[in-house]
Structure 1
């Protein structure tokens, strides 16, 4: 049950989240602890104790339930401005992460503030190329991404001017702002931030292309798939690791065929993306 009390502790924590927007959950918990100490605030458990027992509460370390309730209280205050702190797991690392996201996901412009219409059009173009990449690669090479800049057109089908150097600088911004990820081999893929903030846009706009993990039901662009081509089973690497941890003979959770984890979605760690874009 979300606490009805919204304090300076919540406000200070929210300011820290706004300045970062995306972070590991462990980092968010550290920010919560520091906010409590800085404001001499009380955790939700302490607030209940204070009002139930009429005692002066003492600051104690929070537990997981307290943190969840605390975040829920912050989210309740953000509803009116179409923002929300969302939680998920990073596809690449399996780390629990939190991100401040827009809840108005129908328009991609809602999440790409700070970019010009031309820059936003380029981002949309790259997103389409990544999602539509052949054989569920969900990535494109940096070279192919730069070359795509020359193919931009407006609503009147007229070419938009974005130079090669301009495209390279913009790609660096997308990566720095955590909209895209660049691998060691130069492959560009969607970040956890993009998957969180644009999940409705992606699911509705690319219903046939976007995959979900069979176990956690979250969007999947990096993971494993069943050896049987006709089987729809897809697993994040971290979900597969947990699921098969105590199995001597791993089987597909859907069709029960042997599962070796060698058929990948997305690129392998040292693989290179195709130099040209191939769409499904």
Structure 2
């Protein structure tokens, strides 16, 4: 038996089962679960990063992974149970029918392709997309599906608009890169996908930075602040994406 198999015990299994039920959690909550499952399995609570690494070594065999990132709006660390192959809407959203998956794709496209880096779509526009499906979806059916996407943590709804959720960004990273290359951006600091944050005021510059990453970047810097790429003055007031509630 491999050494990695010996390290994988009931605490890991219980943790995976818990993450599968939540899909995505703030890391502070995941740490509480880590402590609990270690106690239940009667094993010593070790380093959390190593614990996750041991799980991922096992999950890789089945094309799943625990992926760590941050909530773009709060900056809170999060961890998600994600499917790593294939990274496609049709394969991941298996609880939806073909028409719903088609609508989900159209919603993602409308959000990513929104003008001026808004990365959001108004609810009335989202509802109207259902009428253009084959077969067409009723207004009620579309509204119920949008509610389900929010409940399943694929979309977030804020102030009458929909945007991509942390789970969607983490689990559909490959799909989003493939379908929207050059449109969807990576944070200049952490390299995760970014759909809300601060941007360079120079129009040709593609630098986008999460708010929490910008806080780390500029906290020790003296005025004037400047873009880490083109050196344009960085005012911290040039923002994009759907603002927090």
Q: Do these two structures clear the TM 0.5 threshold for a shared fold by scoring above it?
A: yes
8 A Cα contact 2:87 2:171, kept in partner: no
Question: What is the total number of aligned residue pairs between the two structures?
Answer: 242
Normalising by structure 2, what TM-score? 0.94
**Structure 2 residue 240 is matched with structure 1 residue 265:** yes
Residue number in structure 2 paired with 1:96 = 77
- Shift, 1:81, TM fit: 1.7
Separation in structure 2 between the aligned mates of residue 20 and residue 223 of structure 1, nearest angstrom: 26
Cα RMSD of the aligned pairs, angstroms, is 1.6
Residue number in structure 2 paired with 1:181 = 156
Query: Which ranges of structure 1 fall in alignment gaps of 5 or more residues?
Result: 44-61, 153-158, 271-280
Residue number in structure 2 paired with 1:215 = 189
8 A Cα contact 2:196 2:243, kept in partner: no
1:230-245 correspondence runs (5 A): 230-245=204-219
- Shift, 1:7, TM fit: 0.9
- Shift, 1:4, TM fit: 4.6
8 A Cα contact 2:80 2:167, kept in partner: yes
Normalising by structure 1, what TM-score? 0.83
- Shift, 1:151, TM fit: 1.4
Separation in structure 2 between the aligned mates of residue 81 and residue 117 of structure 1, nearest angstrom: 25
1:108-123 correspondence runs (5 A): 108-123=89-104
Extract structure 1 runs of 4+ deviating beyond 6 A. none
Q: Deviations over 1:77-132 (max 9, x none)?
A: 11222111000011111010000000014431221121111111111110111111
Residue number in structure 1 paired with 2:14 = 12
Residue number in structure 2 paired with 1:38 = 40
Computing the radius of gyration from Cα coordinates, the structure with the larger value is 1
8 A Cα contact 1:213 1:233, kept in partner: yes
Separation in structure 2 between the aligned mates of residue 232 and residue 161 of structure 1, nearest angstrom: 38
Separation in structure 1 between the aligned mates of residue 109 and residue 50 of structure 2, nearest angstrom: 37
Distance 1:88 1:269, change over 3 A: closer
Separation in structure 2 between the aligned mates of residue 150 and residue 168 of structure 1, nearest angstrom: 11
Query: Which ranges of structure 2 fall in alignment gaps of 5 or more residues?
Result: none
8 A Cα contact 1:213 1:220, kept in partner: yes
Separation in structure 2 between the aligned mates of residue 4 and residue 198 of structure 1, nearest angstrom: 32
- Shift, 1:74, TM fit: 1.0
Separation in structure 2 between the aligned mates of residue 38 and residue 192 of structure 1, nearest angstrom: 30
8 A Cα contact 2:185 2:193, kept in partner: yes
